[in-house]
Amino acid sequence: GKEVHHPQIEMIKGIQGIGVEDKPSRKVAQEFACYDCHFTNQLDHDSKAPTAAEIVANDKCSGCHTDAAKMEANMKAQKDKVKAQLDQLLPRLETAKKALEEAKAAKKDVAAAEKALGAAITDITYVEADKSLGIHNPEYTDALLKVGAAKLDEFDAAMK
């Protein structure tokens, strides 16, 4: 797999996955910059993730985001879903890496399995490295994890 060098900005742009169609976040079309969301205190340049209440209070956000309670619930659901997926997929990646190394040591032909695992590593660890648990670009995150899981299934089939 390839390393995604700037996972947050690339996630927002919806680029760099393997086997996943590019899908920019709506924030790209609206010309948001990182500081529009993450400098919740303009005096301190705190760079923290804003709360739903802070988003609703932000003039740039309040045109679309008007209900802080609903937004908080949606953000929690998104984060919980992605965390649960990562909790399943990351151990599978580690198991697959070990199996690949063992097969290579046994001089088995693992080219197809290695290609599938490389794609899975890129897509799954990309989501992990972004650290937003899907908040930066929910649709692209979902696509990356779906393809990553499929590539792990492809790896398993190629190793049989």
Q: In whole angstroms, what is the distance from residue 56 CA to residue 141 CA?
A: 23
pTM: 0.89
Q: In whole angstroms, what is the distance from residue 66 CA to residue 64 CA?
A: 6
Tens digit of pLDDT for each residue in 36-71? 777 656 565 667 788 888 888 888 787 888 899 999
Which residue bears the tokens 């198991």? 95
Confirm if 24 and 12 have CB atoms less than 8 A apart.
yes
The answer, yes or no, to whether residue 139 has pLDDT greater than 80, is: yes
Tens digit of pLDDT for each residue in 117-127? 999 999 999 99
Segments in 22-137 forming alpha helices (H): 26-29, 34-38, 52-57, 68-105, 111-130
